[in-house]
Amino acid sequence: MPPQNTNEVPEPETPQVSVVSNEQTSGIVDQDNPEESDSNSKKDSIKGILSTVAILVIAPLIALSLTAFVFQSYEVDGPSMQTTLQNHDRLIVYKLPRTIAKITRKPYIPKRTDIIIFTRHDSFEFGTDKPRQLVKRVIALPGERITVKKSVVTVYNEEHPEGFKPDEENKYGKVITNTSGDIDLVVPTDSIFVCGDNRPNSLDSRAFGPVPLTDVVGKLSLRVYPFKSGQSF
């Protein structure tokens, strides 16, 4: 019998496509150029070492710069700001405005009622000739007249020619008990007048006079310890 004619057509072969995942390719090495692969590996190792060294060098510099020019941590030593601040409280002081003032050669003038850190260069009141950094509250600004009479603090300026009593008009005043002293002076245009909130136990501008603006370090920003007493200022 003659062969039967069939209409079957052989199916074309399906081309096979293979893919390699990123995980697979990451471990592939060009076996045709082993020397080039070794060279690249050495370069990568050197880059890794240099990056690590750069981080170890730059990180402390950044930390030092932040401490010197932006923020700094302090611990309260003494009772002069009680009960607003307690002995051994940990504080964060904001220094950037003072830094900018130095760069622009303009005076940095804190606001009234700000709690500030400043350097007292002549610390004979504390029994030492070494500089000390103190924390106090700003009461009177440059050019203002301030009086302390019969335990009452009064500030005179252009807005209040008859005077006003900052201890009575601000929230911090609720912790003020007795302000000793007999003061009547005009604050120099380059200085501020400061007091501790614990007036009976505070050596401040009533004792050593107004504080030069150039001695101001920064403004109290946060109390971070004790944790339960955390507070922004």
Cβ(210)–Cβ(142) below 8 Å? no
- How many whole angstroms separate alpha carbon 70 and alpha carbon 99? 8
Angle at 116 between CA 114 and CA 118, to 5 degrees: 150
> From the CB of residue 135, how many other CB atoms can be counted at a distance below 10 Å?
24
Report the half-sphere exposure of 176 (CA within 13 A, side-chain side). Answer: 22
Q: Which residues are catalytic?
A: 80, 136
Q: Give the DSSP H/E element, type plus range, for residue 140.
A: strand 132-140
Q: Indicate the SS3 state at residue 97.
A: helix
> From the CB of residue 193, how many other CB atoms can be counted at a distance below 10 Å?
28
SS3 content of the chain, % helix, strand, coil (to 5): 30, 25, 45
